[in-house]
Structure 1
Amino acid sequence: MKQNLIETVNEYLSLGINQQLDYEKFYLYSIITHSTAIEGSTVTEIENQLLFDEGISTNKPMAEQLMNLDLKKAYEQSFIYAKSHADFSIELLCSLAALVMQNTGSTYKTIGGDFSSAKGDLRLLNVSAGRGGKSYLAWQKVPDRLQKFCDWLNAERKVVDKNDIHKLYELSFEAHYRIVSIHPWADGNGRMSRLVMNMIQYEAGCIPSIVKKEKRAEYIQSLAQSQEKDASKDFIDFMMNHHVDNLQKQIDEYKASMESDDIKGGQKISVGGQKKWSETTLKILELIKQNPKISRKELCSELGINPSAVQKHIDKLKETKMIERLGGAKGGEWRVNE
């Protein structure tokens, strides 16, 4: 597993996938979309791009849109903390939890006192996972256990080998497992545990892992198995394999999108008898000819591919001077150089 991870990450980086224009932004949008989808959101990546970049509301429930907007703010703040190598503390975690639940949190009145998940307060009530599910740590023990978690994580971050990518991912997955097992908040524990995981990865310079919504059942099952055994191995194994699979899929998609030897009608596709192009690249070129003001979002919609894939083809056309941008992102247009 370790060698497979190293080889896949090295290939990913050698292809320069992480150096594409707006890679970090679109990758973050994917992380957010899938993390909220795990919790029931139906907002798509393209809808989130419109929501985040243009402030354009979708026809999805407002609570789901607010969930995505809140998580975006939380991730942006978490990466600021990661860049400064801030120590983890209860205060830091609660400040991030407050951002995660800012617009969808609730106020609770309990025997232990009143608290608000919208303010990132630690829970003052006992919780279980679903009807008849696992009962989590008693609320009275949460502050002490969370402090021990922060102490453990801060110590591990100092001694982990920064050149051992496998150990770095193991640490991030272990942190995810430990914090979600504590279940410090009444709401948002899943999103927070994935955020902490990505925060550790980001600080270490690793490619952040995405828990895909399509793997929700396996993800939850692996977590339940580990909690039942009181050992993180099953969960870490799932997360490691899932991350490798995600990266390999991106590698395969990238290679396919950049393939210059596609065959169409028994002949290699070419422009001007010199440069060979993929079918998708030619479709984008044709759409730009038809509508010089077409946006990247409209290209995504027309072709049914994600923003990062569209950007790869646009970069390819710009590098060979086939197209150029006149004006800014808003109000500008494309020019095709025949």
Structure 2
Amino acid sequence: MDISSLIAQYKGLHLEDVIDHDTFNLIAIDHHSTKIEGSTLTEVETQVLIMEGRTPNGKPLEHSLMVKDHHAALLFTLEAARQGKELNIGLIQQINALVMKTTGKIYNTMLGTIDAATGAFRKGNVSAGNTYFPNYDKVERLTAELLKLISNGIKSLHSTEEQLNLSFDAHYRLVSIHPFYDGNGRTSRLLMNFLQTLYNLPLAIVKSENKAAYIEAIIKTKETGDLNCFREFMLKEYTNLLQEGIRQYREMENPPEGKDFNSLF
């Protein structure tokens, strides 16, 4: 089954009508996106934090703050897409500012002090392992060029495959620019979700248990210059997510003996 047919089948289930499905789906995005970045909260702990405001015992407070900030950034991002807000540098910086609202650090550079909680672009060069990102003086230009590329794509792409690829490419390209001191991964995944919401597509989740393969796909794409490396990884994640949602819905309709409905969503 191709991805367009799978999306149609998934959307045809009308999961939005299932009690709390949308809420739990957003919580899953919060959980996996923050866990990739080091949060130790479980998905249940994330759920209790978001829905009841209770921080888990024995876990660093910073991890709970990271999750709450991500949830606020996610809601803002999806609402911006639903309102058709222009995708520009200001919006990307707003998303990053929300991601880093309570955990952003202060960076003192030769060019001045940067507060990572404000969505300000970095003023220094950064690396991750053996990966080096563009010089800081190229960040604003590269980000503006990326957003222009995305905006042109939004207007011209019509097939589901093209729309998905645009969201995956935007995700990869923004994290490769690494415009901020922190929160680049979370902001890039939210940019992907922004575009998926704009196109009325189910939201993608990069599962935290696949973090190693995710990073490997980013590195391989950077080394080869072949976007298909990252696209293939993301399409596999996306396909698995949709198939799992369909399977869970079918189990809800016809629960296996001994399985409780509340464990399905």
TM range (shorter): over 0.9
Could you state the TM-score of these two structures normalised by the residue count of structure 1? 0.75
Identical aligned pairs, as a percentage? 34
Which structure: greater helix fraction?
Answer: 2
2:60 counterpart residue number: 61
Could you tell me how far 1:279 is from its partner in structure 2? Answer: 2.8
Q: Which amino acid aligns with 2:207?
A: K
Correspondence for 1:331? none
Q: Which letter maps to 1:84?
A: Q
Contact kept? 1:8, 1:247, Cα under 8 Å:
yes
Q: 2:7, 2:258 → 1: CA distance?
A: 28
User: Within the alignment, does 1:220 sit opposite 2:215 as a pair?
Assistant: yes
User: One-letter code of the match for 1:152?
Assistant: L
Deviation per residue, 1:57-111 (Å, 9 max, x gap): 1122100000000001111111121012111111111111111001111111111
- 1:268 corresponds in structure 2 to none
> What is the one-letter code of the residue matched to 2:93?
C
Secondary structure, counterpart of 2:54 in structure 1? coil
1-side partners of 2:163 and 2:173: how far apart?
15
1:19 corresponds to which residue? 17
SS at match of 1:280: coil
1:150 lines up with 2:141 in the alignment = no
Distance in 1 (CA, whole Å) between partners of 2:199 and 2:179 is 25
Q: Which residue, 195, 203, 206 being the options, matches 1:208?
A: 203
Mapping of residues 268-279 of structure 1, within 5 Å: 278-279=257-258
Q: Displacement of 1:53 after TM fit?
A: 1.6
Matched, 1:233 2:231: no
TM-score (normalised: structure 2)? 0.95
Q: Deviations over 1:292-320 (max 9, x none)?
A: xxxxxxxx6xxxx3xxx25xxxxxxxxxx
Q: What's the counterpart of residue 175 of structure 2?
A: 180
Q: How much has 1:5 moved relative to structure 2?
A: 1.1
Query: What amino acid is aligned across from residue 68 of structure 1 in structure 2?
Result: V
**Residue 37 of structure 2, aligned match among 36, 39, 43:** 39
**Cα deviation, residue 188, structure 1:** 0.5
1:231 deviates by: 2.5
Is this contact kept in 2: 1:257–1:280, CA < 8 A? no
Deviations 1:146-203 (A, max 9, x none): 1111111111111111xx2211111100100111111000101000000000111011
Equivalence for 1:134:
131
Q: Distance in 2 between matches of 1:119 and 1:279?
A: 50
1:96 and 2:91 are equivalent in the alignment: no
How far apart in 2 are the matches of 1:64 and 1:44? 11
In 1: Cα distance, 2:50 partner to 2:29 partner: 13
Give 3-state SS (helix, strand or coil) of 1:108's partner: strand
Partner residue in 1 for 2:105: 106
Equivalent AA in structure 1 for residue 153 of structure 2: E
What is the alpha-carbon distance in structure 1 between the residues aligned to residue 170 and residue 95 of structure 2?
16
Q: Which residue of 2 aligns with 1:297?
A: none
Q: Once the 2 structures are TM-superposed, how far is the Cα of residue 219 of structure 1 from its aligned partner? A: 0.8
The letter for the 1-side match of 2:25 is Y
State the Cα RMSD in Å.
Answer: 1.5
**Secondary structure in structure 2 of the residue aligned to 1:197:** helix
Question: Partner of 2:132: helix, strand, or coil?
Answer: coil
User: What amino acid maps onto 2:191 in structure 1?
Assistant: V
Larger radius of gyration: 1
Find 1:6's aligned residue among 4, 15, 22: 4
Task: Tell me if the contact between 1:36 and 1:68 (Cα under 8 Å) persists in the aligned partners.
Answer: yes
SS at the partner of 1:279? coil
Structure-to-structure mapping, 1:232-271, within 5 angstroms: 232-259=227-254, 262=256
- Gaps of at least 5 residues in structure 2 are none
